[in-house]
Amino acid sequence: MENNFDIIIVGGGIVGLATAYKLTLQHPTKKIAVLEKENKLAAHQTSHNSGVIHSGIYYKPGSYKAINCVKGRHELVAFAKEYKIEHDICGKIIVATHESELAHLQKVYNNGIANGVEDIEIIDPDKIKEIEPHCTGIKALRVGCTGIIDYSDVSEKYAELIVAKSPQNKVLTNQKVVAFEKGEQQTTVITTTQRFTAKHIITTSGIQADRMAKLEGSKSDAAILGFRGDYYDLTEKGISKVKHLIYPVPNPKFPFLGVHFTRMIKGGVECGPNAVFVFDREGYSRTSFSFKDTAEALAFKGTWRFFKKHWRFGLDEYRGAFSKTYFLKRLRKLIPDLQMEDIVSARCGIRAMATGAEGEMLDDFKIEKKGNAMHVINSPSPAATASLAYGGEIANMATEYFNLK
């Protein structure tokens, strides 16, 4: 009886936890469980990200990303204030260093206006120097409402509130879901150690999202490809060269923002991440390899089409992954006086990018529904920033689709 729930959410990253939290607010009498396979919450993308509270300027107006990022940012900042989660709205600049980038910089600004992002302006080289004395550019976009936070702290608070809402709710770690058994009225969710039942299932399994949907009996057209992002830390010598957050103008062909400088809420400044295709979805080293992950990725037509379209980008990213000199060269575009001894190799994170059969990376958040289950297939950046709005959106969809009363 204890393991019987109304809704089970598979995946204790920030999206699963925010969804569960929003469901507890909307349906306080429903029994909700979050099952996480690792021995702690938020163990993958959520704790391996840049910790930036994104403003919402980059995203196509009207997209789920744009709407949920702006709404979610406001909610997140209010949430962080209410629950005393350390954060800082320190602002950032996106810097054009070449004339060829100006048109896209303007487009990003226009998106910001269309998306309702406040406190943004185009600035000239003198103003760039005033904000970031070591940075050189020909024009920049100043975004005052960007901030920094630790998303593990945010996830822990969501978990605490889910359980505080009702002692019947559970957030459980060490529960790797390995099978689902479909019954007439409910589904049995089998983990490596226990069996649970639920009327409704929501999967929010990050880099395992496509596999989890398949395991549950659904079939998504998209497959997840992993892209590792390596970071360097600024050393004691280099740290004074960055005050806030400094970003390049992104390449419009890819959903990555380009290597940037990020002041972290717990101290230090990181530079990165790059975007290197991985052969191991959860392998956090430059040489990690998983036969299963590689075989699956190569069996998917979309992977080959992605390689064919973007081989030049891929090679460039590999070069950056293995050559500190090359990584530094990229960073020097923004801070020309950065030296080799100013940076030291640090951690990495792996992004889950849902990719279609034509090799196209799906740009927007994607949720699929089948039977008594909903599968969150694509939750790339800024899903951490957007988590409260996005979780609310998934909870609204669940209310309607599952006919929750």
Ligand X SMILES: Cc1cc2nc3c(=O)[nH]c(=O)nc-3n(C[C@H](O)[C@H](O)[C@H](O)COP(=O)(O)OP(=O)(O)OC[C@H]3O[C@@H](n4cnc5c(N)ncnc54)[C@H](O)[C@@H]3O)c2cc1C
| Residues binding ligand X (CB under 6 A) | 10-16, 35-38, 42-46, 48-52, 54, 176-177, 204-208, 212, 229, 273, 349-351, 379-385
Determine the Cα–Cα distance for residues 218 and 377; give it in Å rounded to an integer: 11
Looking at beta carbons only, is 251 or 339 nearer to ligand X? Answer: 251
Looking at beta carbons only, is 139 or 151 nearer to ligand X? Answer: 151
Question: Residue 253 Cβ, how far from ligand X at the closest point, in Å?
Answer: 19
Question: Residue 220 Cβ, how far from ligand X at the closest point, in Å?
Answer: 15
Looking at beta carbons only, is 139 or 317 nearer to ligand X? Answer: 317
Question: Residue 387 Cβ, how far from ligand X at the closest point, in Å?
Answer: 7
Looking at beta carbons only, is 303 or 385 nearer to ligand X? Answer: 385
Q: Which residue has the tokens 């997209």?
A: 63
Determine the Cα–Cα distance for residues 333 and 168; give it in Å rounded to an integer: 54
Question: Residue 108 Cβ, how far from ligand X at the closest point, in Å?
Answer: 16
Question: Residue 381 Cβ, how far from ligand X at the closest point, in Å?
Answer: 4
Looking at beta carbons only, is 109 or 180 nearer to ligand X? Answer: 180
**If we measure between CA atoms, which residue out of 141, 134, 390 comes closest to residue 250?**
141
Looking at beta carbons only, is 41 or 139 nearer to ligand X? Answer: 41
Q: Do residues 398 and 23 touch, judged by C-beta distance below 8 A?
A: yes
Question: Residue 14 Cβ, how far from ligand X at the closest point, in Å?
Answer: 5
Looking at beta carbons only, is 49 or 97 nearer to ligand X? Answer: 49
Determine the Cα–Cα distance for residues 257 and 387; give it in Å rounded to an integer: 19
What is the number of other CB atoms lying within 10 angstroms of the CB of residue 161?
Answer: 18
Looking at beta carbons only, is 194 or 339 nearer to ligand X? Answer: 194
Residue 106: strand pairing partners: none
Question: Residue 195 Cβ, how far from ligand X at the closest point, in Å?
Answer: 14
Q: Is residue 364 packed enough to be buried (19+ CB in 10 Å), middle (13-18) or exposed (0-12)?
A: middle
Tokens (6 digits) for 234: 């600024």
Determine the Cα–Cα distance for residues 179 and 398; give it in Å rounded to an integer: 22
Residue 88: strand pairing partners: 148
Tokens (6 digits) for 363: 């740009």
* DSSP code at position 356: -
Q: Do residues 286 and 324 touch, judged by C-beta distance below 8 A?
A: no
Determine the Cα–Cα distance for residues 348 and 288; give it in Å rounded to an integer: 12
Looking at beta carbons only, is 139 or 258 nearer to ligand X? Answer: 258
**If we measure between CA atoms, which residue out of 273, 278, 276 comes closest to residue 288?**
278
Element (H, E) at 315: helix 301-322
Q: Which residue's CB comes closest to ligand X?
A: 13
Question: Residue 126 Cβ, how far from ligand X at the closest point, in Å?
Answer: 29
Question: Residue 402 Cβ, how far from ligand X at the closest point, in Å?
Answer: 20
Question: Residue 359 Cβ, how far from ligand X at the closest point, in Å?
Answer: 21
Q: How far is CA 379 from the centre of its chain?
A: 6
**If we measure between CA atoms, which residue out of 231, 259, 271, 238 comes closest to residue 134?**
238
DSSP assignment of 215-264: HHT---S-EEEEEEEEEEEE-TTTGGG-SSEEEEPPPTTSS---SEEEE-
**If we measure between CA atoms, which residue out of 271, 14, 24, 290 comes closest to residue 152?**
14
Looking at beta carbons only, is 139 or 361 nearer to ligand X? Answer: 361
